Chains A and B, each alone.
Chain A
């Protein structure tokens, strides 16, 4: 604890207001506004080209926005160069200077701030201890493993007590096991020193594991910002429903009108009448898209529910995933947890699918 005290400083929030960034005619970021709370761990999640890295680069100061403002701790930094923002950043790779030792790397930001030699050595050693790499100070970065190098990069980014720590897919170069270990470790470290973190990733599992809140981006627009639970349970757009976790989509038409949050009857394209919860106000006859999670689907005999054929059953220990097809040919995934009362259907069998109306979300069919 005393070691982490050496690198913890006051944390501040970030306000992004109407951010627009164009590259040529392409809007990489298209009017994004969001607020990061002091001490919060926020993940920017999206596929490549969603604008998440551009937003991070704008916060860092490597991209100046075409429109909008960025405030860090209330101070407008939109036009301040990166070296004066006093933010920490961990990059994907190539960040440790190869000609300096580990300790020299960590002491570098202190040297740039005119801290005297004795103090910077002491603080660098404390930061090294925070990331549990005591005794590695004299090595060259090339003598460390990938995970150790990223830990050193984190130590270097927090040693000067930056107001905010930015992370640009810092774990994506690591192999799977190490990545999962580093996710937990980074999360612990963040909680220990209390620094505000903005973390860019395209990996939804990583975002859900680490972040207090996740901002989902697509094509330069903010789709939804909320806790992992909110995003999974109550996605506000079909994109979020499809991007976070696994989802089945069924298309159909509204049988009646419904306000947002109300129950709505839908006739599926196959002719079946089902029920779902309307995400937004929907008029009668509107075309809608129903999203339903694989684990919220249940199977019964083919007489009740939507008829489907079992194509494949994939056993994975804690659950069995069934790959089904509807008569229309549309594939459906269904997950049955292990130890359930009913036996799993066999391949080739016909089953009836059903769900509870509150588990199915009906989106207006925009795309």
Chain B
């Protein structure tokens, strides 16, 4: 008697499985062809070619030279995450407190670099850091140092340049978390006797944590697989895992070993993502009376 009325795509908020699938299909097909398939074939190659073997993984995880690359990758990604967090939080706070033209300028200064090619920004850092670069010329001109310093091809340079490139991915989620905190929270805290520092420590920073964790997750994971900037700024001495994979594919033509490296990186990324999710969920239950 009461036949459910047919509902077309713009009709409501809850779609049938068929409608949901229809909406997601173009993306799913694209993702399958350009991401799942090649990744699957690479991982397949690392495990089954020429015969089923774990030898490639064993090599990736035991040979010191490769372990060093992986540890360096982790260390750089962690340092970049910490540095961007330290730079991004105050900036995001300022943005959240601003409005009008001031906010527009701040947002533009965060977003404009994002719209500029990573390659261009990386070359800009090379111009700054190289032996006869802007920074060395200034240091020598000011009499601070006699010899040009070795700035390029150092881990510090890689961390600095990568932090610059990845900064927007930290600023934006923290900004949106802070923007969502009503003024009354800090007013209430002050009324209840909290100093400005205590208000920050007990109320504002904890409330920004969802933004902080998603920013950290994004920056850390992007940093783990970063290619252009470490390859150009770090050179062969500061090789990170993405560069190593590229080298295996292009120079050694060792697709199986490259696949094993990708497999290790992928497993690690998944592990971190899961741990982060746990941490965020746990965070709601932390705190004491």
Residues from 72 to 114 in A contacting B, C-beta threshold 8 Å:
81-83, 86-89, 91-95, 97-101, 103-104, 107-109, 111-113
**Size class of the A contact interface (CB-based, 8 Å):** 35 or more
CA gap between A156 and B191 in the complex, in Å = 11
- Taking the nearest CB of chain A, how far is it from the CB of B169, in angstroms? 24
Q: What would be 21 A-B contacts, judged by CB atoms less than 8 Å apart?
A: A60-B191, A62-B187, A81-B190, A82-B190, A82-B191, A83-B195, A86-B193, A88-B191, A89-B191, A91-B187, A91-B188, A94-B184, A95-B185, A100-B287, A101-B289, A104-B287, A104-B288, A121-B289, A124-B289, A157-B192, A160-B192
Task: Pick the most buried of B184, B188, B209: most chain A CB atoms within 10 A of its CB.
Answer: B188
Q: Is B182 at the interface (CB under 8 A from chain A)? A: yes
- Taking the nearest CB of chain B, how far is it from the CB of A36, in angstroms? 18
Q: Is B67 at the interface (CB under 8 A from chain A)? A: no
Q: Is B135 at the interface (CB under 8 A from chain A)? A: no
- Taking the nearest CB of chain A, how far is it from the CB of B207, in angstroms? 6
Closest A-chain residue to B184, C-beta based?
A94
- Taking the nearest CB of chain A, how far is it from the CB of B259, in angstroms? 43
Considering only CB atoms and an 8 Å cut-off, how many residues of chain B contact the other chain? 22
As a 0/1 sequence over residues 173 to 212 of chain B, the CB contacts with chain A under 8 angstroms (1 = contact) are 0000000001011011111111100100011001101000
CA gap between A353 and B189 in the complex, in Å = 57
A157 proximity list for chain B (CB < 8 A): 191-192
CA gap between A82 and B189 in the complex, in Å = 10
A103 proximity list for chain B (CB < 8 A): 289
Q: A93, A98, A109: which contacts B193 (Cβ < 8 A)?
A: A109
As a 0/1 sequence over residues 16 to 38 of chain B, the CB contacts with chain A under 8 angstroms (1 = contact) are 00000000000000000000000
A100 proximity list for chain B (CB < 8 A): 287
Q: Is A120 at the interface (CB under 8 A from chain B)? A: yes
A108 proximity list for chain B (CB < 8 A): 189, 192, 194, 202
B192 pairs with A109, CB closer than 8 A? yes
B193 pairs with A160, CB closer than 8 A? yes
A160 proximity list for chain B (CB < 8 A): 192-193
A60 proximity list for chain B (CB < 8 A): 191
Q: Is B284 at the interface (CB under 8 A from chain A)? A: yes
CA gap between A306 and B188 in the complex, in Å = 56
Q: Is A342 at the interface (CB under 8 A from chain B)? A: no
A91 pairs with B284, CB closer than 8 A? no
Residues from 234 to 289 in B contacting A, C-beta threshold 8 Å:
284, 287-289
Q: B192, B206, B287: which contacts A112 (Cβ < 8 A)?
A: B192
CA gap between A93 and B188 in the complex, in Å = 10
CA gap between A11 and B221 in the complex, in Å = 57
A87 pairs with B191, CB closer than 8 A? yes
A99 proximity list for chain B (CB < 8 A): 206-207, 209, 284, 287
Q: Is A176 at the interface (CB under 8 A from chain B)? A: no
Q: B184, B203, B288: which contacts A117 (Cβ < 8 A)?
A: B288
A83 pairs with B191, CB closer than 8 A? yes
B189 proximity list for chain A (CB < 8 A): 97, 108
CA gap between A108 and B191 in the complex, in Å = 11
B207 proximity list for chain A (CB < 8 A): 97-99
B182 proximity list for chain A (CB < 8 A): 94
A→B interface (CB under 8 Å): 60, 62, 81-83, 86-89, 91-95, 97-101, 103-104, 107-109, 111-113, 117, 120-121, 124, 140, 156-157, 160
B194 proximity list for chain A (CB < 8 A): 83, 108, 112
A86 proximity list for chain B (CB < 8 A): 193
Q: Give the 5 A-B CB pairs with smallest separation, nearest first.
A: A109-B192, A112-B193, A94-B182, A89-B191, A94-B184
Closest B-chain residue to A103, C-beta based?
B289
- Taking the nearest CB of chain A, how far is it from the CB of B277, in angstroms? 17
- Taking the nearest CB of chain A, how far is it from the CB of B62, in angstroms? 44
Closest B-chain residue to A87, C-beta based?
B191
- Taking the nearest CB of chain B, how far is it from the CB of A60, in angstroms? 6
A113 pairs with B287, CB closer than 8 A? no
Task: Pick the most buried of A87, A95, A156: most chain B CB atoms within 10 A of its CB.
Answer: A95
A97 pairs with B185, CB closer than 8 A? yes
B284 proximity list for chain A (CB < 8 A): 99, 140
A112 pairs with B289, CB closer than 8 A? no
CA gap between A86 and B191 in the complex, in Å = 8
B191 proximity list for chain A (CB < 8 A): 60, 82-83, 87-89, 157
CA gap between A83 and B191 in the complex, in Å = 5
B192 proximity list for chain A (CB < 8 A): 83, 108-109, 112, 156-157, 160
Q: B184, B209, B289: which contacts A107 (Cβ < 8 A)?
A: B289
A97 proximity list for chain B (CB < 8 A): 185, 188-189, 202-203, 207
B187 proximity list for chain A (CB < 8 A): 62, 82, 89, 91
Closest B-chain residue to A124, C-beta based?
B289
B289 pairs with A91, CB closer than 8 A? no
- Taking the nearest CB of chain B, how far is it from the CB of A83, in angstroms? 5
Closest A-chain residue to B210, C-beta based?
A99
Contacts beyond the supplied A97-B188, A98-B207, A113-B193: 7 A-B pairs with Cβ under 8 Å: A82-B191, A83-B190, A94-B182, A99-B207, A104-B288, A112-B192, A157-B191
- Taking the nearest CB of chain A, how far is it from the CB of B80, in angstroms? 27
A95 proximity list for chain B (CB < 8 A): 184-185, 188
B195 proximity list for chain A (CB < 8 A): 83, 112
B198 proximity list for chain A (CB < 8 A): 112
- Taking the nearest CB of chain A, how far is it from the CB of B261, in angstroms? 40
A93 proximity list for chain B (CB < 8 A): 184
CA gap between A103 and B188 in the complex, in Å = 16
A113 proximity list for chain B (CB < 8 A): 193
- Taking the nearest CB of chain B, how far is it from the CB of A46, in angstroms? 21
A104 pairs with B184, CB closer than 8 A? no
- Taking the nearest CB of chain A, how far is it from the CB of B194, in angstroms? 5
B184 pairs with A91, CB closer than 8 A? yes
